[in-house]
Amino acid sequence: MQQISDALGIDITTFSRQIKALEDKGLIERRAHPKDRRIFTLSLSPEGKRIKGRIDSEMNQYLGRILMQMSSFEQETVIHAVTLLNESLSKVGGACPRGDTCKVQRGKGRERNG
């Protein structure tokens, strides 16, 4: 959890409280690793996935409306810039650069699965 909170720029205590709140609301699930109980997997619950899908859809519609206000050249420029940013983020990594499941480990030797 420390690695993810660092990647997000969030204090570990704040991050831990946020994870607990999401878990209490049934939006994420926590599963212990079968071979190492210090490692656990956080993943979106079915309800969390449903809400994520709704947010994704709403954001895509919103961004589509914004792009519609731009010329073709401006749209291409923005899309190119966002593509470059996304590629750079993938190269340096992040909390969960791909998918919606992250493995984290308490204590030293933290592990990430993205």
Domains and CATH numbers, the chain: 2-105 (1.10.10.10)
Higher pLDDT, 61 or 34: 61
User: Which positions ≥6 away from 18 have C-beta within 8 Å?
Assistant: 10
Q: Which tens digits make up the pLDDT trace of 81-110? A: 999 998 888 887 654 544 445 554 444 444
Contact 27, 48 (CB under 8 A): yes
- Residue 32 CA to residue 36 CA, distance in Å, equals 8
What is the reported pLDDT for 93?
Answer: 67
Q: Which tens digits make up the pLDDT trace of 50-68? A: 999 999 999 999 999 999 9
- Residue 94 CA to residue 6 CA, distance in Å, equals 9
Classified as helix, coil or strand, 28 is strand
Classified as helix, coil or strand, 106 is coil
